[in-house]
């Protein structure tokens, strides 16, 4: 049981390293699934630096930005939330952030380096309020705790 898990993680890490090593210089692509994207293969997020806290959820859950972008979270609910850094997956960026967001207010954070930055609301829990900011070429194939597992198995993070 746990042995298998460890093996798979090791394999995934190896895979991520291989991808990172072989990917230099070919970040074009994007597969042309711009716009809505749908829920099928959306390992990449919606390109936006504006994330709403609305109906006890982050919208969009996955936001893609370029390095150096300042992301703004705005609470559109009539009650408080927070934005708290975490790592749901191995390979997610390590970052420190813990900000309360009172109703109607905003908080910001500038992401300088590529990576998958995961976060959640400690008040309502990761199952309902979670998100990830995908900076640069980072993508996240694995599902987040607040997503219903639309991502295929194999999960993992690549850059």
Contact 80, 103 (CB under 8 A): yes
Closer CB to Cu ion, 62 or 81, in the complex: 81
- The residue from 63, 129, 132, 135 that contacts Cu ion (CB under 5 A) is 129
In the chain, the N- to C-terminal Cα span, in Å, equals 29
User: Three-class SS string for 14-72?
Assistant: HHHHHHHHHCCCCCCCCCCCCCCCCCCCCCCCEECCEEEECCCCEECCEEEECCCEEEE
Single out the segment in contact with Cu ion by CB under 5 A; choices: 86-94, 107-115, 122-130, 149-157: 122-130
121 binds Cu ion (CB under 5 A): yes
Indicate the residue among 107 and 151 with the shorter CB distance to Cu ion. Answer: 107
Task: Please say which residue, 129 or 132, places its beta carbon nearer to Cu ion.
Answer: 129
Contact positions toward Cu ion, by CB under 5 A? 81, 121, 123-124, 129
């Amino acid at each position: 049981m746990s042995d298998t898990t460890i093996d798979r993680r090791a394999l995934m890490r190896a895979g991520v390293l291989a991808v990172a090593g072989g990917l230099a210089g070919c970040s074009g692509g994007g597969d042309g699934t711009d716009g809505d994207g749908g829920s099928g293969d959306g390992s990449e997020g919606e390109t936006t630096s504006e994330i709403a806290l609305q109906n006890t959820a982050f919208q969009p859950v996955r936001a893609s930005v370029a390095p150096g972008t300042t992301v703004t979270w705005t609470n559109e609910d009539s009650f408080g939330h927070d934005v708290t850094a975490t790592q749901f997956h191995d390979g997610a960026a390590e970052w420190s952030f813990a900000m309360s967001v009172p109703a109607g207010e905003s908080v910001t954070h500038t992401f300088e380096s590529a990576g998958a930055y995961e976060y959640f609301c400690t008040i309502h829990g990761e199952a309902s309020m979670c998100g990830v900011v995908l900076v640069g070429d980072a993508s996240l194939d694995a599902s987040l705790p607040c997503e219903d597992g639309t991502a295929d198995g194999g999960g993992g993070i690549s850059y």
